[in-house]
Amino acid sequence: MDTRRTILWMIFSFSLLFLWNNWQVHNGKPSLFGGTPPATQAEAANEGVSPQPQPGADGVPIPQEVTAPASAVPSTTAAPVQTQAEPVVVTTDVVRLTFDPVGARVVKAELLKYGAVDDANQPVVLLDSRPGLTYVAETGTVGQQGAAFPTHRTPFQVTSTQRELTGDTLEVAFEATSGGVRVVKTYTLHRGRYDIGVRHDVTNVGDAPVAPSVYLQLTRDGSKPAGESSFYSTFTGPAVYSEADKFQKISFTDIDRNRATFTTGANNGWIAMVQHYFVSAWVPQEGTQRTNGVVSLGNNLYAVRTIESMGTIAPQESRASDAQLWVGPQDQKALEQVAPGLGLVVDYGWLTVIAKPLFAIMTWLFSMIGNWGWTIVALTVLIKLVFFPLSAASYRSMAKMKQVAPRLQALKERFGDDKQKLNAAMMEMYRTEKINPLGGCLPILVQIPVFISLYWVLLASVEMRGAPWILWIQDLSVRDPWFILPAVMMATMFLQIKLNPTPPDPLQAKVMMAMPLIFGGMMFFFPSGLVLYWVVNNILSIGQQWYITRKIANAPAKAA
C-alpha cells in the first residue's frame, strides 16, 4: 500500500467535498457542515412536523379560532398609508430605533456598538426600510368576520414623550382605535440590552364581545446582507424554535417552492430572522398557544410570524399580551437569557456538540487574555496539546516512511509494473521495519471534526467582528488587508511538505507542491481569524514534526 497515494487521495477527496458543499449552497441548499438538509412536506409529516399553514391573499395566516377574512389584515406590500406624523426615533446606549407611526412598526434599528461594513465609524443598520432594502418588525391584531382591528398598516399616535434613555429603562407607547378595539403598544428598552419588552393592551370599546388575536412578524427581503463573502456561505433566512422540534431553519428557496416545513403550533418557542453575526426574534410569552407561519409576499419579500388568540373580550374589558423583541448581535449568553434555545441562532450545524465546548473555552481564555487574536493563538496551542499523542504517532510514521523512501523507490524499479509483487514486497518491508502504512492518516482523520468545528466557531462568532489582534490586523472577521497571514500560511505549508516523504511519482509530487498554492490562495479571502488559526497550527506542527523526525534520524547513531 502506498501511503503517500492514500494521503493525496484524502486531500483530493476533501477538496471535492468542499467544492460540492459550496455548489450546494450556491444553489440555495443547506451547507453540508453548517445546517440541516431541507425536508419535503411528506417527510415532515412522517416526523410529526406539520407543513406551513396556507395564508390568505394578504399573506397573514389566520389560526383556526379566528375567522377573519383575508382582507382583515393588509399586506406589507400595500401602498403606504398617507400620514403627516414624523418617525419616532429613540436612543439607548446600545441601539437607536426608528418607529413608523403607521402600524407602530420598527422600521430601522442601528446597533451603536458595531461598526458598519463599509464605514466602521457608522453603526450597523440591522432593520431598515428604504428603496432596495426591507427588514422590519411589525405587529397587529386581527379579529372575527368583518372586524377591522388595528394592524401594522393602521396609523397610530405616539403617547409617550421620552426619546433618550436616562435611567435603566425607556418606554415608547403608541395607541390606535379601530373596529371597536383600542390597542396600546408599549415598547420597553433597557440599558445595555438588545431585548425589548413589547406589550399589547387590547380594550373592547364597543358594545359587543370581540375575539382578537395578536400577531408578531418579521418581514425581510431575500437578499444577502452587506459584506457577505462569495468564498464562504452563512445562513440568511427565517427560523422557528419549539421545545418539541428544536431549531428549524427555513430557506427562502424552500418558501418559494412551498417546501418549507416547521412547527406550526406550540405553546413555547420563538421565531427569528437570522443572518451572519446578527438576528432579530420575536419571543411570545411562555405557555401561550400560538400558530407560526412563513410566507412569500412577492417582490423578493418574505415574512415569518406567530399569532396568538386573546380569547373573547367583553365590552369595556381589557386583555394584555406580552412578548420580547430581540434586535441585535448573536451574543449566545445574552440570547439564552432571553429564551431557551435562542442561542442556537449561532448555528454550528451537526458539529454543535464539539463547537459549543470550543466556544466556551475561547470565552474563558478571552476573560483572562482580553484579546481575541491571542485567544485564538492560545486555543490553537491547547488543541495541539490535546492531540499531541495522535500527531506524534502520525509524524513518527511519516519520519519512518521518509527513511525507507529510497528502499521503496528501489522496489518500484525492481518490480516495475508487477503491482502484486510490488505490494507484497512493500508490506513485507513495512512489517520488518514495524511501520504502519496508515499511521500518518488515521490521526489526521480523528482531528478533522475538531478542525471543522473550530472553523465554524471562528466564522460564526460575532465576537470576532471588529476585534483587533496586532499591528495591521484590526478586524479578525475580515480578510488580511496586506495578505501577510495567507502568505505565511503558504510558506509553512511548503515547509511541512518538505518535511514529509517525497512521493516517488513525479505527478504526485507536483500535486503535493501545488496544494499550498490552492489552499493558500483560498485563504487570501477568508477572515484573518481563521487564517491565524491555520498559521499557528502549521508552525506548531512543523516544530513537532521536525523534533520527531530528528529524534528518529539520530536513533541509530545513539544506539551505535
Share of the chain above pLDDT 70, in %: 73
Query: Can you give the residue range of the structural domain that contains 478?
Result: 374-396+441-553
Q: Is the model's pLDDT at 436 over the cut of 70?
A: no
- Cα(344)–Cα(199) distance, rounded to whole angstroms? 25
Q: Do 327 and 387 have their domain in common?
A: no
Q: Do 264 and 381 have their domain in common?
A: no
Q: Do 126 and 209 have their domain in common?
A: yes
Q: How confident is the model at residue 347 (pLDDT cuts 50, 70, 90)?
A: confident
Asked if the structure places residue 517 within a domain, the reply is yes
DSSP structure string for 2-56? -HHHHHHHHHHHHHHHHHHHHHHHHTTPPPTTTSPPP--HHHHHHTT-PBPPPP-
Asked if the structure places residue 23 within a domain, the reply is no
Q: Is the model's pLDDT at 473 over the cut of 70?
A: yes
Q: Do 314 and 386 have their domain in common?
A: no
For the chain, the straight-line distance linking the first and the last C-alpha, in angstroms and rounded, comes to 32
- C-alpha to C-alpha distances, 498 to 3, 215, 261, 520, 549, nearest whole angstrom: 16, 63, 51, 16, 12
63 CB contacts (<8 Å, ≥6 apart)? 213, 291, 307, 308, 309
Q: Do 318 and 391 have their domain in common?
A: no
Q: Do 330 and 381 have their domain in common?
A: no
Phi/psi for 323 (5° steps) reads -155, 170
10 Å Cβ neighbour count for 159?
13
Q: Report pLDDT for 30.
A: 47
The vertex-278 CA angle with 305 and 193, nearest 5°, equals 90
Q: Do 384 and 299 have their domain in common?
A: no
- Cα(68)–Cα(143) distance, rounded to whole angstroms? 5
Q: Is the model's pLDDT at 229 over the cut of 70?
A: no
Q: Is the model's pLDDT at 354 over the cut of 90?
A: no
Q: Is the model's pLDDT at 317 over the cut of 50?
A: yes
Q: Do 195 and 267 have their domain in common?
A: yes
Asked if the structure places residue 356 within a domain, the reply is no
Q: Report pLDDT for 502.
A: 61
The vertex-398 CA angle with 393 and 404, nearest 5°, equals 130
Question: What's the number of domains the chain is made of?
Answer: 2
Q: Report pLDDT for 542.
A: 85
**Most confident of the ranges 41-55, 336-350, 492-506:** 336-350
Q: Do 158 and 60 have their domain in common?
A: yes
- Cα(193)–Cα(427) distance, rounded to whole angstroms? 65
Asked if the structure places residue 109 within a domain, the reply is yes
Nearest to 219 by CA among 163, 144, 287, 151: 151
Q: DSSP code of 164? A: B
Domain boundary among 286, 319, 334: 334
Nearest to 109 by CA among 101, 98, 120: 98
Asked if the structure places residue 362 within a domain, the reply is no
Share of the chain above pLDDT 90, in %: 43
C-alpha cell at 1: 500500500
CATH classification of the domain holding 46 = 2.70.98.90
Q: Is the model's pLDDT at 44 over the cut of 50?
A: no
Q: For the chain, count helices (H), then strands (E).
A: 13, 18
Domain boundary among 311, 334, 357: 334
